[in-house]
Copies of this chain bind each other. A is one copy, B any other.
């Protein structure tokens, strides 16, 4: 194949045919791509629905993000939102805007990346839309089935609940720093970069947590300070978080000049689950997650106090956090 072939050489009809040919259809009675809408089946009375958009220049940089990375991440971040409701992702539709000079091989790679992520979390890629634009952007919408009814909201945290987080924090933002510095090679740095480019949605963990007494949950997309703030605001509660307890990604040590705690608190895009549960439920949940290899760490307690993470109020952390529209 000619690697330099552009989508504008191919035209929309041929491009759509090419994409459709790469995407496996439904194996059952469902109808996925190829009609005006997908026809999906469900036995559940409750359904989850979310959408998340990624825009070139703001959410990804083509200097280091391949088509495959983009497709993978666009699926992963939506799966993470479904997981944060205590749900299992089921179907995705993907809308992508391409520039005229986007290569066909980028699009092929994008589809492969999206399919790899769908395969990992058992998601049906049920349809989409392709458009043109002055920059590449991707919007995914995803459905999910709650593991329990009612679904796990942000608003259920109770005073006295333990605040816990899966995995570790700060790695994805550190990976972005590494990419911007042009670093690539060694093991720890490669892992950080992978966390940024191909995040893991905590789907299995969410299912176990939903069955383990979790009272409120959110995924860490905007950073711990921001997302903990969202959860507490919805629950009308405060907190005390022990900065020393925060599971900072140890790979960050491989980068010079980074305040590991700060990047763990405000970095964002780790897609870990941040949750609350009664203190007595933590042991069981921890055990359940350990069996699938994922740490669960208690970092604090829901309280009536003004929310603090270590020495700074959440507000102080948040003021330095990520705000898309102001740039970073």
Where the two chains meet, the residues of A that have a C-beta atom closer than 8 Å to any C-beta of B are 7-8, 10-13, 15, 31, 34-43, 45-59, 80-82, 84-85, 87, 91, 93-98, 100, 126-135, 137, 139, 141-144, 146, 150-151, 153-155, 217-219, 234, 323-327
Contact assessment for B51 and A84 in the assembled complex, using a CB-CB cutoff below 8 Å: no
Minimum CB–CB distance from A102 to chain B (whole Å) comes to 9
Known: A36-B81, A50-B36, A81-B37. A55 touches B151 (CB 8 A): no
Looking at A42, A97, A217, A219, the one whose CB has the most chain B CB atoms below 10 A away is A97
A7 is contacted by which of B11, B134, B146, B325 (Cβ under 8 Å)? B325
> Which residue of chain B has the shortest Cβ distance to A139 in the bound complex?
B139
> Which residue of chain B has the shortest Cβ distance to A8 in the bound complex?
B325
Contact assessment for A133 and B57 in the assembled complex, using a CB-CB cutoff below 8 Å: yes
Known: A11-B323, A325-B132. A48 touches B37 (CB 8 A): yes
C-alpha spacing A83/B305, complex, angstroms: 51
A91 is contacted by which of B49, B53, B151 (Cβ under 8 Å)? B49
A134 is contacted by which of B57, B127, B130 (Cβ under 8 Å)? B57
Copies of this protein in the complex:
2
Given A51-B139, A55-B137, A132-B324, 14 additional A-B pairs, CB 8 A: A35-B153, A36-B80, A37-B50, A37-B84, A37-B144, A39-B146, A47-B143, A49-B127, A50-B93, A52-B129, A58-B131, A129-B139, A133-B137, A139-B141
Known: A53-B95, A153-B35. A45 touches B42 (CB 8 A): yes
Contact assessment for A82 and B37 in the assembled complex, using a CB-CB cutoff below 8 Å: yes
Minimum CB–CB distance from A67 to chain B (whole Å) comes to 16
Contact assessment for A54 and B131 in the assembled complex, using a CB-CB cutoff below 8 Å: yes
Contact assessment for A137 and B97 in the assembled complex, using a CB-CB cutoff below 8 Å: yes
- The contact sample of 8 A-B pairs, CB cut-off 8 A, is A8-B326, A34-B234, A39-B48, A39-B150, A39-B153, A40-B46, A55-B133, A135-B135
Report B-chain residues with C-beta under 8 Å of the C-beta of A134.
Answer: 56-57, 134-135
